[in-house]
Structure 1
Amino acid sequence: MKKRKAGLKIGARLTLFLVSYMPLFVIMVFGQFYKYSNYLNWGGFNWDSLFIFIKYFGAATILIILSVYGAVGLKVLLTNIERRAKTNGNLVKIDDIENKNSESISYLFTYIIPFVFQDLSSVINVFSVTMLLVVTFLIYSNSSMLLINPTISMRYSLYMIEYTDSDEGKKKKGMIISRNKFLEEDDQVKIKKIGHRLFFAVDIGGNDAS
């Protein structure tokens, strides 16, 4: 029996999850700082000032840190996986293809918009958002949602494909992301596994469309 290789490690999956929520984080951070901007006056280093900052801007600051971590991690992740796909990716021929970019719009409105108007100075709201994000991550990281990402979709395209594996000669199905926004049937690409039936794809000539 052929041994199945694991997909991305937990850190890489966390990076993709955080990036998928980056539009939400930006909106929430901006709203929090704007709503409580009158508390941004310098009050020196003391416990009262620290308490006020943590109460009104602590959660927003954490979101900023997570966003930076996600952005940097995404850059490293995509650079590495694209390089690996080009050098030792599995060559396949696309037999059937369907563009799935619309899935990112559904994800945006279903999983992101409901959080937009949360007040991050409320402990109950912060706890609720945290719990929902944790549960969503556990589901997200082990499903095809891993590639459904509004932020990544600004540059990459998401496809559901049926393909022929050049090594095994078998027809298979999977979901891919690629810089090429105009992939069609009979195109040949190299794919690198991200998760179960989830792949990163590059054109065999390395000339993915921007």
Structure 2
Amino acid sequence: MKSFFALAAAQVTSSLAFCATSIIASTNLAQAADLTFNWKGNAGYSASGSFSYDETITPAIISEGSAGATKALQSLNVSFFNPSQELIETKNEVVNGVSNNQFFELNFDTTTDNLFGAFDAGAGTGFGDVFLSNVVAPPGIFISPGATYYLYRNSTADNIQLLDSSTNRIKVSAVPEPATILGTLVSGMLGVALNSNRVPFFSRKPKRI
């Protein structure tokens, strides 16, 4: 006679397999690539954010600039933190394939997951807005894309305040797809189910005294 745990394990295995099939199917339909990025300044300021694009229609090289409809990006947001890791500001730079920043610059190689060339994100027109750029050098002049990234705050209509800088590159990391995460969980649960099936607790016969 099958034990209670063996029957329960079989039911769990069946349910997990169904969930895995459903989520993998929905993930394949979307084919969205989600990535995060981080930068650290010499004085302790930092920036982090994320962006996404549709893998099925995006070329190997993504080049975005200015405001309006983007060529490939579906979303991009960036947050800035002071040396005490307190949030200074968050910007939703690209929403539903539309950039709201006229100074926005991003170039990304989808084959290597690396940013290159010009980068400028977070810049707004309001006082106090914070932005990270490698094409605006102190005291606010435009330059060719460089290895140094500068973190600024708009202090007045005609002046920007340099908060931090460094030659640390912006690190980009891919976010694991839901199907991959679920696959790992399913494998673990299947192992538990199989082990419980091998040694069913309630199938052990009591010893006679």
- TM-score, normalization by structure 2: 0.29
Pick 1 or 2: higher relative contact order, CA cutoff 8 A, min separation 6.
1
Which of the two has greater strand per residue?
2
TM-score normalised according to structure 1 size? 0.29
